[in-house]
Amino acid sequence: MAARAPLTREEVLTAAAALVRQDGPQRLTMRKLAADLGTAVTSIYWHVGNRESLLDALVERTVAELGEIRPRGATPAERVVSVARALRRQLRSHPHLVAMVHERGLTERMFLPAQRALVHEVHAAGVRGARAAEVVRAVQFQVVGHVLVERNRERAPAQSPAEEELWDTPTAEDDRALARALAAPVDTERLFVTSVRALVKSLLETGS
């Protein structure tokens, strides 16, 4: 039995990332992590401080790994929408990142990679100054909020009141097509694009 090579901070982070990828941050325990690494629990503390700062470091690392965002499309509005879509795709490809960032109050962080691109496009649309800042922030809240709700619905338990009950005749006001549409599962991708497009259209076309 060769003695274990000395533990490094990077090694701890990588093992923690693997654990989180499988089971989510909730289920990352210091003891399980130590077992995976083949060390004593207490060694981990020497390298990363404690669980809190371990998760901090993990968020930082994962965000840094997200690639740059390249806008696509003919008009500034289209390009803003493409930034929003790209960011959504990035976040969805790291499902637990969203939870980690949310739990740690760092939603701001999730949006940083896209901000530079967004500022550029809003400027290209001729909007500047405080108004431009408002547009950037509106898109930020829209995208991050949507992803949070989306992720949330995915891990939702069976709807507690059945959908049909919710959309009975009085609520739907005799609009059968509406009742049917609301009872059906949401096409979140489509809803996302529709919403962002609508938001951006209004915000970019309104005069100062």
Partner DNA sequence: ACCTGAACACCGTTCAAGT
The separation between CA 175 and the C-alpha centre of its own chain, rounded to angstroms, equals: 34
Using the minimum distance from each CB to a second copy, give the nearer residue, 42 or 190: 190
Using the minimum distance from each CB to DNA, give the nearer residue, 36 or 134: 36
Nearest Cα to 94, choosing from 119, 49, 118, 62?
62
Choose the contact partner of 85 out of DNA, a second copy, none; CB within 5 to 8 A by kind: none
Q: Does 152 bind a second copy (CB under 8 A)?
A: yes
Q: Does 143 bind DNA (CB under 7 A)?
A: no
Q: Dihedral of CA 38/40/42/47: which sign?
A: negative
Closest approach, Cβ 16 to a second copy, in A, equals 19
Q: Does 144 bind a second copy (CB under 8 A)?
A: yes
Nearest Cα to 118, choosing from 138, 101, 145, 102?
138
The 35-74 contact track toward DNA, x by CB under 7 A, reads: ----xxxxx-xxx--xxx----------------------
Question: Could you give the C-alpha distances from 93 to 37, 103, 147, 155, 170, in angstroms and in order?
Answer: 26, 18, 11, 16, 40
CA 178/CA 166 separation, integer angstroms: 12
Question: Is residue 22 exposed (0-12), middle (13-18) or buried (19+ Cβ within 10 Å)?
Answer: exposed
- Residue pair 80/33 in contact (Cβ under 8 Å)? The answer is no
Binding footprint of DNA on the chain (CB under 7 A): 4, 6-7, 28-32, 39-43, 45-47, 50-52
Q: Which residues bind a second copy (CB under 8 A)?
A: 60, 102, 104-109, 112, 115-116, 119-120, 123, 128-130, 132-134, 136-138, 141-142, 144-146, 148-150, 152-157, 159-160, 166, 170-173, 175, 177-178, 180-182, 186, 191-192, 194-195, 197-199, 201-203, 206
